[in-house]
Structure 1
Amino acid sequence: MKVFESLPVTLIEHVDLTRVMTIDNRTLNSADTAVFLAPEDSELAIMKTVSDYLYPKPLVLFNPKWGFEEESGFGEFSGFAGSFVVVYAFLGLEVRGILSKRKGMIFRCVRDGVLSAERWYVLVEEEGALKVISTFKLRPSITEVENVLYNMMAANSPITKSAKFLRNMVANVTGKKCQKSPNTNEI
């Protein structure tokens, strides 16, 4: 981390997580922030302790080694793990259908410190470019993202296009428009 090399040594202190409980509390109380790089869920208790000492100063996590869908299973630390605000996320994904597969991503980037204004974007790769296909105000679950991608794939599948073509051809021959059933996607 070359950025930190130019700063005086007294401004930055690297403390191993296993030593946090044994160091003098003045070290934690004098800190302006704490940064955790790729913490694991087994380190939540130590992170919570550091957070309590630092409060109201910030605690920053980079690339925690757990998925947000796992946070509800952290017992007494579920609320703590879920309390972090995501300011930047870039998560690649791939969905496979019967006849095709799609690559995409979930993206969020908070700009200018306005946390409530930024949305979560679901993008897919089309013809070498990324296209936004959905946005969410709150962090979407994996199931919500999969549903968006599967629905998009279904709407663009050759089977769906063939069914629409046949429906339109029948309508042209009979002179009647085919009606969709109100509760299903069937014609």
Structure 2
Amino acid sequence: MLLARVKQPRFRLEIPVVDDSPASISQLALDVFRDLPIKRKGSAARLLIIYPNTTLTETAAKAFKPQSSSFVEHMDISSVTNGDTKILTSADVAVFLAPEASQLAIMKTVTDSLYPRPVVIFNPKWGFEEESSFGELEGFLGTFEVVYSFMGLEVRGLLSKRKGMVFRCVRDGLLSGEKWSVLVEEEGQLKVISRFKERPSIHEVENVLYNLMAINSPITKSAKFLKDLVSNVTGKK
């Protein structure tokens, strides 16, 4: 009898950063992963963070050093390319930190070799709208569930501009059909104006913001005022 293949947990996180320097990205990794609340047989899970280049690997290793732990390992993705895969066998969870699009093929190889252990893509260096040009690797990325994303977008109209956000958050690690929310900034606060079942494209988000700008524009309001004024005078709508 054939046993059903257990699905490998694959997740994706997208946290906006103002500064994407090695020092800043390393500090972000430290803040997110140093106290990872995952246990394995009563002890902390062994976390492997895989970096896109040696500079970031070395910077991150220094950032983690004061919080040194035998449960966090750092690895340059080029090491895997060169055949050094021993460190992969000891990892309970692997994280690709700020990977490049050019590294997708090796990421797929590493992810498959880690089965059935969880794999995370954290702050990829490509935009979501680029993924349709990745060929068969687009399907690989589609196996990763976005558990957190908070990405900004600004559009400019004729007389105004709008800042919007695309947001999704899976609470407590339990996937239950969370929708993608589009929010806009109004009077210093974020307000949900639309929700999507699937991740909206940049064009869909832009259309939502443009429509909102059109509704609230002085031109639209003036046209409505004139229409109402004429209707009141003529008695016709």
Deviation at 1:94, TM superposition (A): 0.9
Task: Give the distance between the partners of 2:104 and 2:141, measured in 1 at CA.
Answer: 8
The partner residue of 2:161 within 84, 91, 101 is: 101
Task: Give the distance between the partners of 2:193 and 2:72, measured in 1 at CA.
Answer: 43
* Structure 2 residue ranges without an equivalent (≥5): 1-29, 35-63
Q: Which has the larger radius of gyration?
A: 1
Residue deviations 1:156-183 (CA, integer Å, cap 9, x gap): 1111111111111111111122xxxxxx
Tell me the secondary structure at the aligned position of residue 107 of structure 2: helix
1:23 pairs with 2:23? no
Bigger proportion of residues as strand: 2
| Aligned length, in residue pairs | 175
Deviation at 1:70, TM superposition (A): 0.8
Tell me the secondary structure at the aligned position of residue 45 of structure 1: helix
**Which letter maps to 1:67?**
G
The partner residue of 2:135 within 60, 75, 92 is: 75
The partner residue of 1:38 within 98, 106, 113 is: 98
1:71 and 1:82 in contact (8 A); partners too: no
CA-based RMSD? 1.7
Task: Give the distance between the partners of 1:76 and 1:175, measured in 2 at CA.
Answer: 62
TM (normalized to structure 2)? 0.69
Identical-residue share of aligned pairs (%):
70
The alpha-carbon distance between structure 1 residues 126 and 146, as it changes in their structure 2 partners (threshold 3 A), is same
Between 1 and 2, higher relative CO (CA 8 Å, sep ≥ 6) is seen in 2
Deviation at 1:57, TM superposition (A): 1.5
